Structures are given as structure tokens and as C-alpha cells.
Structure 1
């Protein structure tokens, strides 16, 4: 999936266009007990709840592909009867109306999901009547297909902050009881994927709030897919390799230098994919010896090449990219100022130290006088005339 496809789905999740048919869920405590279950016709929810749940569903559809969103493909064995893909297809086709399937899904998450606290499992079901689009992106009143999908969000439960307030039962000001609140999802998924504005049952889109530590058990044990590294994890792999050949105190400074050098390459060649030479040159620039730099470059590419190699811009921190962009803009601005000053200098007449511009009716009134022994140029002015110097 690309950002455009995700954006198309996100734009539908709002009050006037949301078409979720059903929402189900299960609240799980820290002892892995099912505390309560949810089964709601989504459009029947009160506005306050409606908007809260909409925010949760939209959060799962992040457009930060490669970091917070990973597109995963099902292995062939998972597409056979009894596989994870077949189970998800059944869950989707049931439109979340099969209580047995829902309980099996909740049980699978409760058994496999790595969480020390309370959390809420939410499932949304939707059918999207995908309209035909012309080459100029205008919609036609004709449907290409009905894209049926589910969104899963797993939200941690957090305690509200303690505070003073009005206690109605005791009719006094006192400490209010703390309540368990639903936080934004820490992980989730969209199934099936929405590729080329069409349903792709061979892929699933996984969301993770923490791109450095995604819930890999969701990928392998619940979705049945192979793990995939985020861009943030690929940044950390390089940092770990550098840490093995230098001191702990130097790692931060070296990586800052490496990231700046890579950002320079990315800024000048945005569509360039990372290779061994890029890593080697950046490490040498940061002070790593040529043999070690070459070894790390080879090892790094070998480690991540099992997946598609990323663009250079994908594996550098935003801070480095912004620093290079800002610096390059400053350099460009300085060059533009130099050129402007050169043109101004060329346009000024030679041998004249003072240039004065006045209206034509003032020219005849200008005179030279000696005032306090100094030669001065006198220009008579009236009270209502505007004066601008330089």
C-alpha cells in the first residue's frame, strides 16, 4: 500500500462518511482475564463515544509507511485451510457477527500478546463501495468493487491522574477515584490490504506506535507473517555495529557525523537506495578507519538485504535530514545575496560616493552650504513630506 491508498481510507473515517457496520471488543486485565466484551452497531453510538472510537481507528491507518506501518505478506502455508489468513478471512466475512470466531481471536491475542498491563482489543468492520476514477481523478457514479475489511486496534488502558473534585456520593470536595482510560493504540492491523484501490487478501498492513520496538508476536503468532524491520530498527542496527568497533562515549558523536553525511547524499539524490559504499564513505568521514568502515558497510547491507533495501532518506533521523536541509538553504541564500550585491555594485555609477534620489520638483531646490565649517547638502522639506533613507 502507499500513502495515497491509506489516505483514501482515512478520509472516510469521519462523522459524515464513516460506514463502519459493527464494532466489537474485549477488555483484558493484567491477569489475562476477559473483564467485559463490546458488541455495538457503530452508527448507533452516542456522538462522544463515536468520535473517540473514530480517533482510535484512524490512528491505526498511519501514513508513515516503513516505520509505523508495515505491509506484510502471508506465507503460502498460512493461506491454506487452517492458516492465519483463512481465519482472518472468516472473521471479515462474518462481519464480526460470529461470537465463536471473535472469542477465538480474543483468546489468541490474550495467549500471545506481550503486555504487562490492562488493554482493550477493538475490531471494526466496514464495506467500502470503491468508485471508478477517471485519469484526472474524477469519480464516476459506478462501483469497481466493494472492499470489505476489518481494522484491529490494541489499546493500553491507563489510570487517570489523581486529583481533588466534588464527590457527589459524600457531597464534599475530596480525592476523586482514579479510572481506567482507553489510550491510543500501541499496535493493530488492517486486513486485507488496499492495493491499487482493490482488496489484496495476500497482504495485511500492521501498525506500531513504537517503531523501535514493534510487537513482533503480533506479526508472527497472530497474523502468521514473517517479521519485517522498521526504518528505525535499521538505523539501530547500524548504530550497534559502530558500537562494536568504538568506545561507548564516541558512538553518539560518530553516528551524528554518519547521519549528516548520509543526509547530504540523500538531499542531493533523494531517490538513491542505500549501498555498501554509502555506509563506508560516511563511516570514514566520521573517523572510522577504511578497513573497519568497509567491513561494517558489507555486514550492514548483508544483514538488511533479505528485505527490500531502503532509500537513504528512510534510515536517517529526521533531525539530521532537517539540519542538512537548513544548512543547504542557508548556503543557497548566502550565494543569492552575494549575487544580488554583485549586481547592485555593477549598476552603480563609478566615482560617486553619494547617490540621492528626489522628486523632479525638488532638484532645483537642492543647494550646497557650509554649516559649522562642514560642507553640507541642503534639501528643503515641508512638514507633510515622507522621507526614506537607504
Structure 2
């Protein structure tokens, strides 16, 4: 599933476009016990409930594809009788009317979901009449197929914060009652996937709110698929490879900044040469080598980084766009601008010093004193010669042409 296909499903989740037939769920406490089950005809919900549940479903389709939304594929054994894919097929085909299947599904999540606290499991059933689209994305008034799917969302349920409030019954301000409130979904999935605007029973789209710590146990044990790294995890792994090999904080920051700049240029070039292409650019091991050499990394470090990269990303090399870190890019631009400014200041200082030196050479006598000393300097005729007289206090230090010992002045009778 790509961004357009996700948005197509998400944009339907409105009062006028929503076609959810059923919504089921259960509330689970911190002891992993089901407190309550419910089964609703979605379109019969009260308006407030309707919009709240609709918002939860939309959240399970939010975020970035490849980071918050991961397409996972079922292995062959899970598509056989008794496999997880076959179970999900049965759940979908039951249109959420089979209580036994629902109970099994809830228990599967409860047994595997690594979460300490109360939460709500929600399952929606939908049948989307997919309209034919022309090459310019205009819809035709005819159906290609009916995309039937289930959407699952798991939401944390937490206590509101303690505080004071108005107690209407006793007409006073006092401690308000704390309520258990359903939050935005922490994780979820859609089955089957909606690939090329069509049903794809060999894949599911997994959602995670936290891309740094996704609940991979659900991918593995509820969906039966191999865990997949998010873009955030891939980015972190890639940067850790660089840090561990270079082992120099300042050099690492510089190299990572330059790598980010190169990755950004690759994406920009792809967008310029093939703006309509939906094929992602993969960062191969050879590409990593080329970028590192361009960044001035030594040959032995390039080999170590390349070997570690191949080891960490052997199964699935990351998409270039997924590795781009906008914060690092911005910081790198800032550092480059600062470096240019420092270089300009150094050039100006050198020019200024050269100018002072040149000016000094044009005079026989050059004085450099503290600002507060200037008012004490006077000119005086001594033995018919114009002299500059500078009073020197006992605690003041003097230096003439690099000499701080002025005893040589006493040897000259003219200064006695």
C-alpha cells in the first residue's frame, strides 16, 4: 500500500462516506481480564459516539507509510489451514457476527500484547465499493470490486489526572472524580491490504503510534508475519553503525551531516527526473560506499561501515527517503553557515592585522596604550626637542618593541 491508497481509505471515514457495517470490541484491565464485550451496528451509534469511534479508526490509518504504517506479508505456512491469515480471512468473512471467532481473536491479542495497563480492543468491518479511476485519477460511476476488510485498533485507557473541580451536587469546589478515558490508538492493523486499489489477502497494513518502539509481538504472534523495522528504527541503526565505527563524536556529527545532505540530494534528483514514479530509491551497500568516499571517510573505515551495513540490512535494505533526518539536515546547514562565517571572520582579522602592520611601518613611532592612559599622555619640549611624555605608575607594566625590561633607557643619558 502506498500513501495514495491509505489516503483513499482514510478520506472515506466521514459521516457521509463511512460504510462501516459492524464494530465490536472489549475492554481489558491491567490483569488481562475482559471487563466488558460489545457489538454494535456502526451506523446506529449515537452521533457523539459515532464521531469518536470514527476518529479512532482514522488514527489507525495516520502517519507515514514505512514508519507508522508498515505493510507486512504473510509467509506461506500462515496461509494454510490453521494459519493466522486463514483465521483473519474467517473473521472478515463472518462480518464480525461470529462470537466464537471474536473471543479467540481478543484472547490472541491479550495473550501477546506487551502492555501494562488497561486498554480497549476495537474491530471494524467495512465493505468499500471501489470505483474505477481513469488515468487522470477521475472517478467513473462504475465499480471495479468490493474491497471488504477489517480494521483493528488497540487504545490505551488511562485515568484522568487528579485535580479540583466544581461539584454541582454540593455546590462547592472539591476533588473531582477521576475517569477512565480511552486514548488514541497505540497500535492496530488493516486486513487485507489495499494494494493497487485492490484486495491483497497476502498482506496486511500494521499501524504503530510509536515508531521507535512498535509492538512487534503483535506482528509476529497475532498476524503471523515477520517483524519489520520502522523508518525511525532503520535511521537509528544506520547512524549507530557510523558512530560505532568512527568512534569520534565530532567527526561522527560531521560525517552524518554530510551523509544526510547526500541522501537528500538523491531524493531531490529522483523527484526531478521521475516525479510520477512511486518506486522508492533503495540505499544499496555500493551507494553507501560512494557516499562515504565522497564525505572523505578513510578507506579502512568505509570497509568497516559497509560490512556492518550489509550485516544489519541484509534482508531488506532501507529506502533512502526513510533515512533522511530533517533535524540533522537543518543542524548541518546551520553548522556549515557557522563555519563559513568563522572563516570569513578569520580572513577579516588577518586583513586587519596586515593593515595595522602596514600602517605601523609608515611611522617612526607607534604607541599602543590602554584607553584610560590616553588622557595622561602629553607632549613636552626637552632640551629643545619635542618629546612624548607618558607617566608610568609603579604597578604598571611596559613594553617597547617587545622588551619589558626598560633598564636600557637608564643607560641613555638623554632619558635621565
- Name the TM tier (shorter chain): 0.7 to 0.9
Whether the aligned pair in 2 keeps the contact of 1:267 and 1:325 (CA below 8 Å) is: no
User: Once the 2 structures are TM-superposed, how far is the Cα of residue 45 of structure 1 from its aligned partner?
Assistant: 1.3
Is 1:164 aligned to residue 164 of structure 2? yes
SS in structure 2 at match of 1:145: strand
Go from structure 1 to structure 2 and tell me whether the alpha carbon gap of 1:325 and 1:129 turns closer, same or farther (over 3 Å shift).
farther
Whether the aligned pair in 2 keeps the contact of 1:274 and 1:311 (CA below 8 Å) is: yes
Aligned match for 1:274, one of 279, 283, 286: 283
Alignment of 1:281-320 (within 5 A): 281-283=290-292, 288-307=297-316, 309-320=317-328
Go from structure 1 to structure 2 and tell me whether the alpha carbon gap of 1:177 and 1:14 turns closer, same or farther (over 3 Å shift).
same
Of 238-247 and 284-293, the range deviating more from structure 2: 284-293
Residue segments in structure 2 that go unaligned for 5+ positions in a row:
272-279, 337-416
Size of the aligned set, in residue pairs, is 327
Whether the aligned pair in 1 keeps the contact of 2:243 and 2:249 (CA below 8 Å) is: no
Q: Distance in 1 between matches of 2:131 and 2:267?
A: 38
Scaled by the length of structure 1, the TM-score of the pair is: 0.77
Is 1:23 aligned to residue 31 of structure 2? no
Report the counterpart of residue 178 of structure 1 in structure 2: 178
Scaled by the length of structure 2, the TM-score of the pair is: 0.73
Q: Distance in 2 between matches of 1:163 and 1:191?
A: 42
Report the counterpart of residue 223 of structure 2 in structure 1: 223
Alignment of 1:1-390 (within 5 A): 1-62=1-62, 64-247=64-247, 249-250=249-250, 254-269=255-270, 272-283=281-292, 288-307=297-316, 309-321=317-329
Q: Distance in 1 between matches of 2:329 and 2:7?
A: 25
Report the counterpart of residue 336 of structure 1 in structure 2: none
Per-residue deviation, residues 184-232 of structure 1 (Å, max 9, x unmatched): 1111000011112211111111011111211110110000001111111
User: Once the 2 structures are TM-superposed, how far is the Cα of residue 272 of structure 1 from its aligned partner?
Assistant: 4.3
User: Once the 2 structures are TM-superposed, how far is the Cα of residue 138 of structure 1 from its aligned partner?
Assistant: 3.0
SS in structure 1 at match of 2:24: strand
Q: Distance in 2 between matches of 1:9 and 1:141?
A: 18
SS in structure 2 at match of 1:12: coil
Q: Distance in 2 between matches of 1:252 and 1:114?
A: 35
Q: Distance in 2 between matches of 1:321 and 1:272?
A: 19
Whether the aligned pair in 2 keeps the contact of 1:267 and 1:324 (CA below 8 Å) is: no
SS in structure 2 at match of 1:36: strand
Q: Distance in 2 between matches of 1:205 and 1:140?
A: 27
Per-residue deviation, residues 282-326 of structure 1 (Å, max 9, x unmatched): 44566753212222123213421312x333222121224567899
User: Once the 2 structures are TM-superposed, how far is the Cα of residue 81 of structure 1 from its aligned partner?
Assistant: 0.8
Q: Distance in 2 between matches of 1:3 and 1:186?
A: 20
SS in structure 1 at match of 2:245: coil
Q: Distance in 1 between matches of 2:31 and 2:249?
A: 41
User: Once the 2 structures are TM-superposed, how far is the Cα of residue 8 of structure 1 from its aligned partner?
Assistant: 1.1
SS in structure 2 at match of 1:225: coil
User: Once the 2 structures are TM-superposed, how far is the Cα of residue 17 of structure 1 from its aligned partner?
Assistant: 1.0
Of 263-272 and 87-96, the range deviating more from structure 2: 263-272
Q: Distance in 1 between matches of 2:253 and 2:174?
A: 49
